Structure 1
Amino acid sequence: MALHKGSCHCGKVAFDVETDLSQVIECNCSICRKKGYLLTFVPREAVTVSGEESLSTYTFNTHTIRHRFCADCGTATFGEGKQPTGEAMLAINVRCLDGVELSELKPIPFNGRDR
């Protein structure tokens, strides 16, 4: 586990997250494929967000995941949902983390398209 800093493009939304990037997920569902997400899933309490007032929300399909993005620059920072146990969790867009060399990650494919 390491502490990472992340933000949207314009900087109005920023966050700190403690996560292990050895489990980065590359999902092929409609939204992840079109937006190019690389995701790491963490408990909600592992993230501190500043600028939440600048976040907008998009939901689709079952409306169980709140896809959050900066209302100013449009950067998709994370999604909010629940684990099967009911605990709050976030799916962090790894592409928004500062100092992460994406070419060094080994994304794990996930077939969200057929779910």
Structure 2
Amino acid sequence: MKSAAKITCHCGAVELAVQLSEDVSNAARCDCTYCRRRGTPTVSVPLDDLTIVKGKDNLTRYTWGTHTAKHYFCKTCGIYTHHQRRSDPREYGVNMGAIEGVNPKEYEPIGWHDGVNHPSDAKRDQT
């Protein structure tokens, strides 16, 4: 069962509407070189279940390496809102802490994904 949620940056310039297909208690962090610095737990959302309600022009994108993962941030306040997943480019990971009414502290301990040993890196290293 899906539930509607609102995601906002800190300054309010960016707002997303998402249909959560999983409970926020399934959120996880990633330990890849980028995500572990950010430390934000994320919840998975199919691409079609995320809509930018306002602030599309205020989002900036960061990529590196394979450029498969695309991380989006508010240009004004710097808050990470979502990213297109490298592990499954058909999904977004949304910032659990930016979901209105959700405090990640209430869901601790939050698990970790092994992004350091990502399968795409193993394939690339073997070529």
Q: Distance in 2 between matches of 1:65 and 1:21?
A: 21
TM-score (normalised: structure 1): 0.87
User: Residue 16 of structure 2 corresponds to which residue in structure 1?
Assistant: 15
User: Residue 94 of structure 2 corresponds to which residue in structure 1?
Assistant: 92
Q: Distance in 2 between matches of 1:82 and 1:37?
A: 16
Identity, in percent, stands at: 31
Q: What amino acid maps onto 2:17 in structure 1?
A: D
For the pair shown, the structure with the greater C-alpha radius of gyration is 2
TM-score (normalised: structure 2): 0.79
SS at match of 1:30: coil
User: Residue 108 of structure 1 corresponds to which residue in structure 2?
Assistant: 111
User: Residue 72 of structure 1 corresponds to which residue in structure 2?
Assistant: 76
- 1:48-100 deviations in Å (ceiling 9; x for gaps): 2121111111001111011111111111110024775x6x3211011111111
Q: Which ranges of structure 2 fall in alignment gaps of 5 or more residues?
A: 119-127
Flag the structure with more relative contact order, 1 or 2, with Cα contacts below 8 A and sequence separation at least 6. 1
Q: Distance in 2 between matches of 1:101 and 1:42?
A: 18
- 1:24-63 deviations in Å (ceiling 9; x for gaps): 0111111111111101111111112121111111001111
